[in-house]
Structure formats: C-alpha cells, structure tokens
Amino acid sequence: MQPALGIRKLGFKRWFERQLIESHLFLVTCFLCLVLVLALLEELGSHASVLERTLMFATILGGTALGILSWNRYRVILFRALQLSERSTCEGCGAHARFNVIDSGRAEVGDIVENREGA
C-alpha cells in the first residue's frame, strides 16, 4: 500500500505503528532463517544420505534467499516510515502527526495523457 493511502485511511500514528510491526516481522523472519541455515550447515557434515544432504542444501539456499529478501524488506519499510516520521511534526506549533493527507503529489496517468492531448 502506498504511504499516502495508508496514512489517509488509518491516520499517521496507526499507519506508523503498523509499519513498525510489519518491518519487525520481516526482521524476525530473517533471524529465523539465519538460525535455520546455521543449524542445517552443522547437520550437513553429519552422516546423512545423499538425498538428505541434497534436501538440506536446497533448504539452505531457500533459507538464505528468504533471509536476504526479508532483511531488504525490513530495511525498506523501516527507513521509509522513519523518513516520513521525521517530517511529521509541525514546525509552527510542534504538533506531531496531526494532519490529513490531501494529495500525494503524484499525477495520475490519465491526467498526464489529457494534458499532452490538450497541449
């Protein structure tokens, strides 16, 4: 969901809380993938059959990929929320997160096409 739509729907404070929860769920997923990969790397050296080693190696690759994706998603969500949070305090009155989103500042595709045709 775009930040402007989420803030408009939930309000900034609830949107920010949900972003923090979502980002930390990705962090927990990354940590669990790390534990899984390390445990399987330890078991890979044991006396396992070829099929078991192949499955362990495939799971290691999948866990590594999921962990990297989870880490990247964690960073993106967290830093976007923090960046918007830094700009959510009114410089005049000092109120925090007391605003309504009117426009996200992006033109719609239909507006761009209409402007080109009208020019």
Per-residue pLDDT at 106: 58
Amino acid residing at 90: C
**Residue-range domain boundaries for the chain:** 3-118
Its pTM stands at 0.71
Report, as an integer, the average pLDDT of 89-112: 55
Q: Write phi, then psi, for 6 (nearest 5 degrees).
A: -65, -40
Report, as an integer, the average pLDDT of 102-113: 49
Report, as an integer, the average pLDDT of 20-42: 95
Q: Write phi, then psi, for 103 (nearest 5 degrees).
A: -150, 145
On average, the pLDDT of the chain sits at: 79
